[in-house]
Amino acid sequence: MNRKILLEFELKGKEFMENKTGFRVCWMLLVLGAWFVSPALAKDVVIKEPPASLSKQYPPESKESKWLDIMHKMSGHFGGVFINMGQKDWPNAEKHAQGLADVYEDASKLVPEWKDYFDVKAAKDFVSVVKTHDPAEISKASKLVGKTCGKCHDDNLVAVWTRYHWPSVENIKLEDPIDEKEVEYGKYMHVLSNAFKGVRVNFGDGKNDIALKAAKDFKKRYMELKSTCSKCHTHPGVKQFFVGEDVSKALDAMEAELATDKPNPGVIWKNVGIVGQEGCKKCHLTHRSYVIFRDVWEEEAEAKK
């Protein structure tokens, strides 16, 4: 049975759970961009893999991210209409309206599977309405165009981000500093998780010597994560985001306390919390959802073979 990923946008907060049909993520929808307005309504959106034809607009099939450039052009032209309208600069408002219509029509031809999202007539009518210099009518006409943008974004934005802007971790491998073996990223994360549990469980059970060894192994494995950051990021400072000074100090403090004759539980659990909150949790909140989405697509593709 194919698994589906559902995103349910609610105003009440966040909830993440897994069931037999997939993953339901409850979160607040943040609309990036001021050029269209989409109402925040509770609904289910299926995150399905973008059509293959879109790949022609992104590397490696294209030297540049052409589709993203087109989106930026449309956004700039749409916003340009209203910025110039506010300044009563009608020649430039009309110029941007025509620019929007031209780029909009070009975009409608690039991804055949998405042709129904576009209303080229509405875009062309918008040009005519802008020429009336009537703000009320312009606002009314803009909503017809903006509605098509919002619908496409609601259905596809997260999927496009995931597919074309988020590299697959399956291509990342690490050398386990304890076993000295090359390990796939996913398996390494399981090993790392079990190492962290080894610290917490053994200390909680009063086996301090075993907890100390587990802490030393966990620290080495955790700090090795720095090598994975450069697989996707070129700026050296990115290594400090989740494997930074706060986490490093907490690991040192935890190991030092476990090495004493009578480790202070307060010190141990405080530093366990720092590692979990500042390192593991923040990294997972940033990366894990996208990894889950890609994993589901890959499983579905494998099932079709």
What is the C-alpha to C-alpha distance for residues 57 and 53, in angstroms, rounded to an integer?
Answer: 8
Structure tokens at 63: 């030297």
* Helix ranges restricted to H, 109-225: 120-130, 135-165, 185-204, 208-223
45 band by pLDDT with thresholds 50, 70 and 90: low
pLDDT of 131 over the 80 cut: yes
Higher-confidence residue: 26 or 114?
114
Segment 143-161, tens digit of pLDDT: 999 999 999 999 999 999 9
In the chain, what's the furthest Cα-to-Cα distance?
83
> What is the structure's pLDDT at 47?
83
Q: What residues does 184 pair with on adjacent strands?
A: 173
pLDDT of 22 over the 90 cut: no
Domain boundaries defined on the chain: 4-165, 169-304
Amino acid at the residue 232: C
The answer to whether 232 and 252 are in contact (CB under 8 A) is: no
Q: What is the pLDDT averaged over residues 22-35?
A: 34
Q: Which of 99, 109, 38 is closest to 74 using CA atoms?
A: 99
The answer to whether 127 and 101 are in contact (CB under 8 A) is: yes
Residue corresponding to tokens 């009563």: 88
Q: Which of 160, 156, 165 is closest to 287 using CA atoms?
A: 165
Helix, strand, coil in percent for the chain, rounding step 5: 65, 10, 25
Secondary structure letter of residue 46 according to DSSP:
E
Least confident of 53-57, 109-113, 208-212, 230-234: 230-234
The CATH number for 4-165, chosen from 1.20.120, 3.30.1230, 2.60.120, 3.40.1130, is 1.20.120
* Helix ranges restricted to H, 1-134: 66-86, 90-108, 120-130
Adjacency order of strands within the sheet including 22-27: 15-19, 22-27, 4-9, 44-46
What is the C-alpha to C-alpha distance for residues 39 and 187, in angstroms, rounded to an integer?
Answer: 41
The verdict on whether omega for the bond into residue 135 sits within 30 degrees of 0, i.e. cis, is no
